[in-house]
Structure 1
Amino acid sequence: MKKNVEYDLAIAKLADKTHHFAYELDRAFFEQFDQQLIPDGKLHADVELIKTDRLLTLNFDIKGTVRLICDRSLDEYDQDINVHEQLLVRYGDRELELDDNVLQITPDTQTLPLAQHLFDYIGLALPMKKLHPRFQNEPDENPESETKLIFTTRQPGDDDDDDEGTDPRWNALRNLN
C-alpha cells in the first residue's frame, strides 16, 4: 500500500470531544492498494471520532457504489455498499491490534491512519458471490437445495428391495421424515 496522508487523522491536536470527518473514496483511493478486488468506486465515508483521555471511538458510515466484476459473466457492474462499523482505539505501552475492531496505540502517537480500515470495511461488505444485477433475480437451478436437507446412506443405483440383510428395526426408521 502506498502511503497517503490524506486519510490520516492528526489525533494529537484534537481536543477531548466529538469530531466529524468526511472522505471521498474513488479510483485514486483504491489504486493505493496492491489488489484487484475493487478496481473503482464512488463512496462517501463519514467518520465520527469521540475522543476521551483514555479511548478513541471511531464510528464509520460508508455509503456508495463500487465497481466489481461478475463471477458468472465477467462483466463489470456497480454494487451498492452501505457500511456501519466501529473501531475502538485505546492507549497503552506499545502498538498492538488486539481484535478486529480494537487497536492499542502509544500516548505519543501523532496520527492514526484510516485508509486500511476504510478499505477493509468496504471489502468485508462485498457479497461473497458477485453477480451482475441481471443474474441476481434468476431462480436457483435446484430450488430445494437451500430449503431441504436429505441424508441417506444409500448410494445412487442401490435397490430399495435390498432389506433382507438389515436389522428390521431400521425399516421403521426409514419411514420417518
Structure 2
Amino acid sequence: MKKDSPYNINIARLADKTHHFAFDLDRAFFEQFDQELIPDGQMHADVTLIKTERLITVDFDLKGTVRQVCDRSLDDYDQEIDTHEQLLVRFGDEEKELDDNVLQITPDTQTLPLAQHLFDYIGLALPMKKLHPRFQNEPDDEPDAKTKLIFTTRGEAPDDDEDDSDPRWNALRNLN
C-alpha cells in the first residue's frame, strides 16, 4: 500500500475527540489488492474515529455492492453489503496485531492505514454461499428429488426390544 494512500489517516495531527471520515470504494480500490475475491464494487465507508490519550476506537459502517460470481451458474451479480465493524487501536511499546480487531501501535506512529481493514471487513461480510438473486429464494432441498437419509439421531434412547436393531449392537450393550 502506498504511503500517500487516501485511506491513511494522519493520527498524529488529530485532537483527542471524535472525527468522521468518508471513503468511496470502487474498482480502483479493489485493484490495489492482489486477489480475486472482489474484482469490483461500489461501496461507501463511513468511518468514525474516537481518539483518546491511550486508545483509538475506529467504527466502520460499510454499505454498497460488490461484484461476485454465482457458485451455481457462474454468472456475475452484485452482492449487497451492509455491515458494521469496530477496530480498537491501543498504544504500546511495539507495533503488533493483538487480535482480529485489536492493534497495538507505538505512540510516535504518524498514520493509521485503513485500506486493508476496509477490504477485510467487506470480505468478511460476503456470504459463504454466493448465489445469484434468482436462486436465493429457492429451497435447498427439492421435495420431489430422490434423497437418501445418511444419518439420523433420535430424541430418545432406542429400546432394547427393537427388532430392527443390528444384533452386533445388542452384543455391545451386554458388555457392561
User: TM exceeds 0.5?
Assistant: yes
Amino acid at match of 2:20: H
Shift of the alpha carbon at 1:113? Answer: 0.2
Query: Percent identity at matched positions?
Result: 73
Q: Unaligned stretches of 5+ in structure 1? A: 153-159, 171-177
Query: How many residues are paired up?
Result: 158
The amino acid that maps onto 2:72 is R
Q: Residues 88 and 164 of structure 1: is their aligned pair in 2 closer, same or farther, counting only changes over 3 Å?
A: closer
Q: Taking structure 2 as the reference length, what is the TM-score of the superposition?
A: 0.82
Once the two structures are superposed, the pairs formed by residues 133-144 of structure 1 within 5 Å of their partners are 133-141=133-141
The letter of the residue matching 1:110 is Q
- Residue 114 of structure 2 corresponds to 114
Instruction: Decide whether aligned partners of structure 1 residues 127 and 166 sit closer, same or farther in structure 2, where only a CA change above 3 A counts.
Output: closer
- Amino acid in the other structure paired with 1:95: E
Match of 1:60 in 2: 60
Structure-2 separation of matches of 1:166 and 1:132: 47
- Cα deviations across residues 85-122 of structure 1 (Å, max 9, x unaligned)? 10000000100100000000000000000000000000
Shift of 1:167: 3.0
Q: Does 1:150 align with 2:152?
A: yes
What TM-score results when the alignment is normalised by the length of structure 1?
A: 0.82
Residue equivalent to 1:130:
130
SS at match of 2:139: coil
Give the Å deviation of 1:138. Answer: 1.2
Task: Report the RMSD for the aligned CA atoms in angstroms.
Answer: 2.4
1:28 matched to 2:31? The reply is no
Do the aligned partners of residues 22 and 164 (structure 1) sit closer, same or farther apart at CA in structure 2, a change above 3 Å counting? closer
> Where do 4+ consecutive residues of structure 1 move more than 2 Å?
160-168
Q: Which residue of structure 2 aligns with residue 82 of structure 1? A: 82
Instruction: Give the letter aligned to residue 16 of structure 2.
Output: D
